[in-house]
Chain A
Protein backbone atom coordinates (compact mmCIF):
# COMPACT_ATOMS: atom_id res chain seq x y z
CA UNK A 1 0.00 0.00 0.00
CA UNK A 2 2.90 2.30 0.69
CA UNK A 3 3.87 2.15 -2.97
CA UNK A 4 0.59 3.53 -4.19
CA UNK A 5 0.76 6.42 -1.80
CA UNK A 6 4.30 7.39 -2.63
CA UNK A 7 4.20 7.14 -6.43
CA UNK A 8 1.45 9.61 -7.29
CA UNK A 9 2.70 12.13 -4.79
CA UNK A 10 6.21 12.01 -6.22
CA UNK A 11 5.65 14.85 -8.74
CA UNK A 12 4.66 17.14 -5.91
CA UNK A 13 8.07 16.93 -4.26
CA UNK A 14 9.51 19.84 -6.16
CA UNK A 15 6.52 22.02 -5.47
CA UNK A 16 6.38 21.50 -1.73
CA UNK A 17 10.12 21.91 -1.41
CA UNK A 18 9.78 25.34 -2.89
CA UNK A 19 7.27 26.45 -0.29
CA UNK A 20 8.84 24.64 2.68
CA UNK A 21 12.14 26.51 3.10
CA UNK A 22 10.55 29.75 2.03
CA UNK A 23 8.11 29.84 4.92
CA UNK A 24 10.50 28.69 7.63
CA UNK A 25 13.63 30.48 6.38
CA UNK A 26 13.08 34.17 7.08
CA UNK A 27 13.20 34.85 10.82
CA UNK A 28 12.56 31.24 11.73
CA UNK A 29 8.89 31.73 12.41
CA UNK A 30 7.09 29.22 14.60
CA UNK A 31 5.00 26.72 12.63
CA UNK A 32 1.81 28.11 14.15
CA UNK A 33 2.21 31.17 11.96
CA UNK A 34 2.00 29.09 8.81
CA UNK A 35 -1.09 30.14 6.87
CA UNK A 36 -2.24 26.77 5.53
CA UNK A 37 -1.31 24.01 7.95
CA UNK A 38 -2.73 20.66 6.90
CA UNK A 39 -4.94 18.94 9.44
CA UNK A 40 -3.93 21.13 12.35
CA UNK A 41 -3.13 18.33 14.77
CA UNK A 42 0.21 17.12 13.41
CA UNK A 43 2.66 19.91 14.11
CA UNK A 44 5.75 17.71 14.13
CA UNK A 45 5.69 16.42 10.56
CA UNK A 46 4.66 18.34 7.51
CA UNK A 47 2.22 16.37 5.43
CA UNK A 48 2.87 17.05 1.80
CA UNK A 49 -0.07 18.32 -0.19
CA UNK A 50 -1.20 15.61 -2.57
CA UNK A 51 -1.77 16.67 -6.14
CA UNK A 52 -3.65 15.05 -8.95
CA UNK A 53 -1.23 13.29 -11.27
CA UNK A 54 -3.52 13.83 -14.25
CA UNK A 55 -3.86 17.56 -13.65
CA UNK A 56 -0.14 18.09 -13.06
CA UNK A 57 1.07 16.01 -16.01
CA UNK A 58 -1.83 17.19 -18.18
CA UNK A 59 -3.05 13.73 -19.07
CA UNK A 60 -6.45 14.39 -20.67
CA UNK A 61 -7.70 11.03 -21.77
CA UNK A 62 -7.51 8.15 -19.35
CA UNK A 63 -7.62 5.21 -21.67
CA UNK A 64 -8.29 1.63 -20.66
CA UNK A 65 -5.42 0.45 -22.86
CA UNK A 66 -2.48 2.01 -21.03
CA UNK A 67 -2.10 -0.56 -18.32
CA UNK A 68 1.09 1.04 -17.00
CA UNK A 69 -0.79 4.17 -16.02
CA UNK A 70 -3.77 2.38 -14.56
CA UNK A 71 -1.64 0.00 -12.55
CA UNK A 72 -0.37 2.88 -10.43
CA UNK A 73 -3.89 3.36 -9.12
CA UNK A 74 -4.67 -0.26 -8.42
CA UNK A 75 -3.69 -1.86 -5.13
CA UNK A 76 -1.86 -5.16 -4.86
CA UNK A 77 -5.03 -7.19 -4.75
CA UNK A 78 -6.51 -5.37 -7.72
CA UNK A 79 -8.64 -2.84 -5.89
CA UNK A 80 -9.00 0.72 -7.07
CA UNK A 81 -7.06 2.94 -4.68
CA UNK A 82 -9.26 5.63 -3.10
CA UNK A 83 -8.80 9.28 -3.88
CA UNK A 84 -7.88 10.14 -0.30
CA UNK A 85 -4.72 8.06 -0.67
CA UNK A 86 -3.66 8.99 -4.19
CA UNK A 87 -4.73 12.64 -4.30
CA UNK A 88 -6.41 12.32 -7.69
CA UNK A 89 -9.12 14.94 -8.24
CA UNK A 90 -12.79 13.96 -8.43
CA UNK A 91 -13.13 14.37 -12.19
CA UNK A 92 -10.10 12.27 -12.95
CA UNK A 93 -10.91 9.64 -10.36
CA UNK A 94 -14.24 9.09 -12.08
CA UNK A 95 -12.56 8.62 -15.45
CA UNK A 96 -9.90 6.49 -13.88
CA UNK A 97 -12.41 4.18 -12.25
CA UNK A 98 -14.21 3.77 -15.57
CA UNK A 99 -10.96 2.98 -17.39
CA UNK A 100 -9.91 0.46 -14.76
CA UNK A 101 -13.26 -1.30 -14.98
CA UNK A 102 -13.02 -1.47 -18.76
CA UNK A 103 -9.49 -2.80 -18.53
CA UNK A 104 -10.68 -5.47 -16.11
CA UNK A 105 -13.33 -6.52 -18.55
CA UNK A 106 -10.86 -7.17 -21.33
CA UNK A 107 -8.45 -9.00 -19.01
CA UNK A 108 -5.79 -6.29 -18.95
CA UNK A 109 -6.18 -5.85 -15.22
CA UNK A 110 -7.31 -8.44 -12.71
CA UNK A 111 -10.62 -8.29 -10.89
CA UNK A 112 -8.87 -9.84 -7.94
CA UNK A 113 -5.24 -10.87 -7.87
CA UNK A 114 -4.83 -14.44 -6.76
CA UNK A 115 -2.55 -15.47 -3.95
Chain B
Protein backbone atom coordinates (compact mmCIF):
# COMPACT_ATOMS: atom_id res chain seq x y z
CA UNK B 1 0.00 0.00 0.00
CA UNK B 2 1.67 3.14 -1.24
CA UNK B 3 1.10 6.22 0.83
CA UNK B 4 2.33 9.76 0.84
CA UNK B 5 4.76 10.61 3.59
CA UNK B 6 6.64 13.70 4.43
CA UNK B 7 10.02 13.24 6.01
CA UNK B 8 11.76 16.25 7.45
CA UNK B 9 15.22 15.92 8.90
CA UNK B 10 17.87 18.20 10.31
CA UNK B 11 21.50 17.75 9.34
CA UNK B 12 24.24 19.13 11.55
CA UNK B 13 25.26 22.67 10.54
CA UNK B 14 29.00 22.02 10.17
CA UNK B 15 28.53 19.59 7.27
CA UNK B 16 29.96 20.47 3.85
CA UNK B 17 27.60 21.06 0.95
CA UNK B 18 28.87 18.12 -1.09
CA UNK B 19 28.55 15.81 1.91
CA UNK B 20 24.95 16.91 2.35
CA UNK B 21 24.26 16.24 -1.33
CA UNK B 22 25.88 12.81 -1.00
CA UNK B 23 23.74 12.02 2.02
CA UNK B 24 20.56 13.03 0.23
CA UNK B 25 21.55 11.09 -2.91
CA UNK B 26 22.15 8.00 -0.77
CA UNK B 27 18.75 8.35 0.81
CA UNK B 28 17.10 8.80 -2.58
CA UNK B 29 18.80 5.57 -3.74
CA UNK B 30 17.42 3.74 -0.71
CA UNK B 31 13.91 4.95 -1.39
CA UNK B 32 13.88 4.05 -5.08
CA UNK B 33 15.44 0.65 -4.39
CA UNK B 34 12.85 -0.08 -1.74
CA UNK B 35 10.01 0.45 -4.22
CA UNK B 36 9.11 3.99 -3.28
CA UNK B 37 9.25 7.15 -5.34
CA UNK B 38 10.25 10.70 -4.52
CA UNK B 39 7.65 13.37 -5.12
CA UNK B 40 9.69 16.36 -4.12
CA UNK B 41 12.88 17.26 -2.36
CA UNK B 42 13.42 20.62 -0.80
CA UNK B 43 16.40 21.97 1.02
CA UNK B 44 15.02 24.52 3.42
CA UNK B 45 18.48 25.71 4.30
CA UNK B 46 20.03 26.72 7.55
CA UNK B 47 17.69 27.67 10.35
CA UNK B 48 17.97 28.39 14.01
CA UNK B 49 16.70 25.54 16.18
CA UNK B 50 14.09 26.32 18.80
CA UNK B 51 16.16 24.41 21.36
CA UNK B 52 19.59 22.86 21.52
CA UNK B 53 19.92 19.46 19.87
CA UNK B 54 23.14 17.51 20.39
CA UNK B 55 24.84 20.76 21.35
CA UNK B 56 23.88 22.43 18.07
CA UNK B 57 21.85 25.61 17.87
CA UNK B 58 21.28 25.66 14.12
CA UNK B 59 20.66 23.02 11.53
CA UNK B 60 20.17 22.35 7.84
CA UNK B 61 16.57 21.44 7.25
CA UNK B 62 15.68 19.06 4.43
CA UNK B 63 12.12 18.19 3.46
CA UNK B 64 11.38 15.05 1.50
CA UNK B 65 7.95 14.10 0.18
CA UNK B 66 7.77 10.47 -0.87
CA UNK B 67 5.35 7.80 -1.98
CA UNK B 68 6.20 4.62 -0.12
CA UNK B 69 5.07 1.62 1.92
CA UNK B 70 4.94 1.71 5.66
CA UNK B 71 7.77 -0.79 5.91
CA UNK B 72 9.98 1.32 3.67
CA UNK B 73 9.37 4.35 5.87
CA UNK B 74 10.42 2.27 8.84
CA UNK B 75 13.62 1.37 7.02
CA UNK B 76 14.33 5.01 6.13
CA UNK B 77 13.74 6.03 9.73
CA UNK B 78 16.22 3.38 10.85
CA UNK B 79 18.80 4.71 8.40
CA UNK B 80 18.25 8.28 9.53
CA UNK B 81 18.66 7.21 13.13
CA UNK B 82 21.92 5.45 12.33
CA UNK B 83 23.42 8.11 10.07
CA UNK B 84 25.67 10.33 12.10
CA UNK B 85 25.14 13.80 10.52
CA UNK B 86 21.36 13.66 10.92
CA UNK B 87 20.50 15.10 14.32
CA UNK B 88 16.70 14.99 14.19
CA UNK B 89 13.96 13.75 11.92
CA UNK B 90 10.20 13.45 11.71
CA UNK B 91 8.03 11.48 9.30
CA UNK B 92 4.40 12.39 8.86
CA UNK B 93 1.80 10.58 6.85
CA UNK B 94 0.08 13.05 4.56
CA UNK B 95 -2.40 11.17 2.38
CA UNK B 96 -5.34 11.22 4.80
CA UNK B 97 -4.89 14.90 5.43
CA UNK B 98 -4.65 15.60 1.70
CA UNK B 99 -7.81 13.61 1.10
CA UNK B 100 -9.63 15.56 3.79
CA UNK B 101 -8.50 18.90 2.38
CA UNK B 102 -9.49 17.87 -1.15
CA UNK B 103 -12.95 16.94 0.13
CA UNK B 104 -13.40 20.30 1.81
CA UNK B 105 -12.25 22.08 -1.34
CA UNK B 106 -14.71 20.10 -3.46
CA UNK B 107 -17.58 20.99 -1.14
CA UNK B 108 -16.57 24.62 -1.20
CA UNK B 109 -16.37 24.60 -5.00
CA UNK B 110 -19.94 23.34 -5.32
CA UNK B 111 -21.16 26.01 -2.93
CA UNK B 112 -19.36 28.73 -4.83
CA UNK B 113 -21.07 27.78 -8.07
CA UNK B 114 -24.47 28.53 -6.56
CA UNK B 115 -23.38 31.98 -5.42
CA UNK B 116 -21.57 32.68 -8.70
CA UNK B 117 -24.59 32.03 -10.93
CA UNK B 118 -26.70 35.08 -9.94
CA UNK B 119 -23.58 37.22 -10.25
CA UNK B 120 -22.94 35.93 -13.78
CA UNK B 121 -26.52 36.63 -14.91
CA UNK B 122 -26.45 40.44 -14.52
CA UNK B 123 -23.05 40.53 -16.18
CA UNK B 124 -24.42 39.21 -19.47
CA UNK B 125 -26.88 42.11 -20.19
CA UNK B 126 -24.11 44.63 -19.58
CA UNK B 127 -22.05 43.00 -22.29
CA UNK B 128 -25.07 42.85 -24.59
CA UNK B 129 -25.95 46.51 -24.03
CA UNK B 130 -23.08 48.13 -25.99
CA UNK B 131 -23.96 46.14 -29.07
CA UNK B 132 -27.25 47.99 -29.90
CA UNK B 133 -25.59 51.36 -29.33
CA UNK B 134 -23.49 51.36 -32.53
CA UNK B 135 -26.58 50.24 -34.41
CA UNK B 136 -28.48 53.26 -33.07
CA UNK B 137 -25.62 55.53 -34.12
CA UNK B 138 -25.66 54.05 -37.60
CA UNK B 139 -29.42 54.66 -37.85
CA UNK B 140 -29.07 58.32 -36.87
CA UNK B 141 -26.19 58.90 -39.27
B10 within 8 A of partner (CB): yes
Q: What is the 8 Å Cβ interface bit string for chain B, positions 49-85, against chain A (1 contact, 0 not)?
A: 1110100000100010000000000000000000000
Residues of A within 8 A of B88 (CB): 105-107
Contact of B104 among A60, A105, A109, A114 (CB under 8 A): A60
Contacts of B105 in A (CB 8 A): 60
CA distance A17 to B127 in the complex (A): 37
**Chain B interface mostly:** strand
Bound CA–CA A108/B100 (angstroms) = 25
Is the pair B8, A106 in contact by a Cβ cutoff of 8 Å? yes
B15 / chain A contacts, CB cutoff of 8 Å: none
Chain A positions 93 through 115: 1 when the CB is less than 8 Å from some CB of chain B, otherwise 0 = 00000000010111111110010
- Does A65 belong to the interface (CB within 8 Å)? yes
How many residues does chain B have at the interface if contact means C-beta atoms less than 8 Å apart?
18
B90 within 8 A of A: yes
Known: A60-B105, A64-B92. A104 touches B63 (CB 8 A): no
Q: Is the CB of A107 within 8 A of B101?
A: no
- Judging by beta carbons under 8 Å apart, are A107 and B53 in contact? yes
CB distance from B93 to the nearest CB of A (A): 11
Most B CB within 10 A of own CB, among A65, A102, A106: A106
B51 and A107 contacting across the interface, CB-CB below 8 Å: yes
Q: Which of A61, A65, A109, A111 contacts B101 (CB 8 A)?
A: A61
A/B interface sample: 10 pairs, CB < 8 A: A61-B97, A64-B92, A102-B90, A104-B50, A105-B88, A105-B90, A106-B88, A107-B50, A107-B88, A110-B50
